[in-house]
Amino acid sequence: MSEKEIYTGKVAYVTGAASGIGRATALAFAREGADVAIIDIDTEGLTVTETALKEIGHRVRTITADVSDADAVKNAVEQTVETLGKLDVAVNNAGIFDPIGITHRLDIETWNKVIATNLSGVFYGMKYQIEAMLAQGGGAIINTGSVASLIGFQGIPAYTASKHGLVGLTKVAALDYAQQGIRVNAVLPGVIDTPMMEVFSGGTPEGRAMMTGLEPVGRMGTPEEIAQVVLFLGSDAASFVTGHALAADGGFTIR
């Protein structure tokens, strides 16, 4: 916790909050004084996050929702504003990836599911978050991309396409609302030690070593490190930053 809690009196909204970067981000907001709405499809994981947030001592709104469902997202935003009073910063973090495989062998159902969650889900989030923020005079949105937003990632075509699209969507929204008090940015994590990375690496020592070897810094990042970047982008310290895709990737994309 900082000497002065920078989010005191603020309300934050975080999707994918049941684990990993989402959970770390929700906790980071609370430690800085915010009330937090946490959203995920994983009810059990949300309960763990909720318990940790309540121990910090600020208000929590827990919402089980699938971000690929526009009506569910609309309801989540409305519940946040109704119960916590407003919406100052939103983090569209929920995401999934497709099983490793070459493009023409990716089944259409998987393609649609990944795009619906990673790209359409971010659009749905911003659509209703922006409506709430316009009504109150401003706010900040941070979308979670990936190093796959910047480079081609062999074997995961749907994930890579969705994360590239997320950056374009972020930039358009930043321009659309630049004069209306709403900033929209993206954070692009590198290899981060999360449950998703465990699945991606196969959960084996060899798989983890392979993924770690991609990082010039010689280690995986932590969810807490990404959460700190999100805190910055959502804060007044980043008041002149909008439309930016900030790579927090240990040097992954500068090789």
- With CA atoms as reference, report the closest residue to 141 among 179, 178, 170: 170
Label residue 143 exposed, middle or buried (CB < 10 Å: 0-12, 13-18, 19+): buried
Residue 105 CB neighbours (<10 A) = 8
For residues 218 and 205, give the distance between their C-alpha atoms in angstroms, rounded to a whole number. Answer: 15
Strand-pair partners of 188: 247
223 neighbors 17 (Cβ within 8 angstroms): no
Phi, psi (rounded to 5 degrees) for 141:
-125, 135
For residues 179 and 138, give the distance between their C-alpha atoms in angstroms, rounded to a whole number. Answer: 10
Q: Catalytic residue positions?
A: 159
